[in-house]
Amino acid sequence: MPSANLTGDLLKRVSRSFYLSLAVLPAPVRPILGLAYLFARAADTIADSRLIGREQRITHLLAFRDELDGLAPGRLAAIVAATRGIQSLEAERTLLERLPECFAAYQALPAADRRRVRHVLETIIEGMTEDLSRFPGENEGGLAALETRHDLDRYTYLVAGCVGEFWTEVHVAHRPRLKHWDLEKMKSLGIRFGKGLQLTNVLRDIPRDLRQGRCYLPSRDLARLGLEPKDLLEPAAGAALRPLLVELLNLALDHYEAGWQYTFAIPKRETRMRLACAWPLLIGLRTLDLLAQSPNWLDPDVVLKVPRFRVYGMMAQSMATVWSTRMLARKARQLRERIRL
Q: Which of 163, 181, 185 is nearest to 172 (CA)?
A: 181
Note down the domain range covering 74.
Answer: 1-109
Task: Identify the pLDDT of residue 3.
Answer: 53
For the whole model, what pTM was predicted?
0.93
Total tally of structural domains belonging to the chain: 1
**What is the Cα gyration radius of the chain?**
20
Q: How far apart are CA 337 and CA 163, in angstroms?
A: 28
336 located within any domain: no
- The answer for residues whose C-beta is within 8 angstroms of residue 81's C-beta and 6 or more apart is none
14 located within any domain: yes
Each residue's pLDDT tens digit, 177-191? 999 999 999 999 999
Task: Identify the pLDDT of residue 86.
Answer: 60
20 located within any domain: yes
Task: Identify the pLDDT of residue 308.
Answer: 85
- The answer for residues whose C-beta is within 8 angstroms of residue 316's C-beta and 6 or more apart is none
Each residue's pLDDT tens digit, 102-116? 999 999 999 999 999
91 located within any domain: yes
Task: Identify the pLDDT of residue 58.
Answer: 92
- The answer for residues whose C-beta is within 8 angstroms of residue 283's C-beta and 6 or more apart is 17, 306, 311, 314
- Residue 123 CB neighbours (<10 A): 18
Each residue's pLDDT tens digit, 219-278? 999 999 999 999 999 999 999 999 999 999 999 999 999 999 999 999 999 999 999 999
Distance of CA 203 to the CA centre of its chain: 13
Q: Is 141 exposed, middle or buried (0-12, 13-18, 19+ CB in 10 A)?
A: exposed
81 located within any domain: yes
Q: Report whether pLDDT(80) > 90.
A: no
Q: Is 199 exposed, middle or buried (0-12, 13-18, 19+ CB in 10 A)?
A: buried
17 located within any domain: yes
Task: Identify the pLDDT of residue 77.
Answer: 75
68 located within any domain: yes
307 located within any domain: no
- Count of positions (residues) in the chain: 341
Q: Report whether pLDDT(2) > 60.
A: no
Amino acid occupying residue 36: A
Q: How far apart are CA 141 and CA 124, in angstroms?
A: 27
